[in-house]
Amino acid sequence: MSGFSKINYKGKEIIYLDYRGASEEQMIEYLCAAEETILEEQKPFMTLTNIYDAYATKGYLSRAQELGRKTQHLSIAGAIVGVTGGKLVLLKVFNRMFAKGEGLKPFDTEEEALDYLVSQCS
């Protein structure tokens, strides 16, 4: 089921944005929920984003860019799954233009992404 949640993986808390099958409106809603949590807690965070069967629209990307500006000082690392074809090109452009450091790093599976994330805070 798509949505925003926090998951625990190998003892590390990770913000999970699951956009599978979500509309642009739902994606922005989940992103806003994550933003509210991050800004309220004011602690370093990692994110896993799943965009299988979802599309990053102009409206969503604009909102994601805004979130990045507000929270980049707290971001440890970000991983993303579901990036294929044209989505990979968009991700590279987005990372180059708006991300701090590597930006969202693409992976084939959630397990690979999660292992990468926990390795970034060891």
**Higher-confidence position of 28 and 67:** 28
Say what the pTM is.
Answer: 0.88
Averaged pLDDT for residues 50-55? 90
Averaged pLDDT for residues 59-69? 87
| Domain residue spans of the chain | 3-119
Of 39-48, 61-70, 84-93, least confident by mean pLDDT is 84-93
- State pLDDT tens for residues 92-110: 776 666 666 667 888 999 9
CATH of domain 3-119: 3.30.750.24
- Percentage of the chain beyond pLDDT 70 is 88
CA distance 86 to 114: 23
Of 34-38, 84-88, 112-116, least confident by mean pLDDT is 84-88
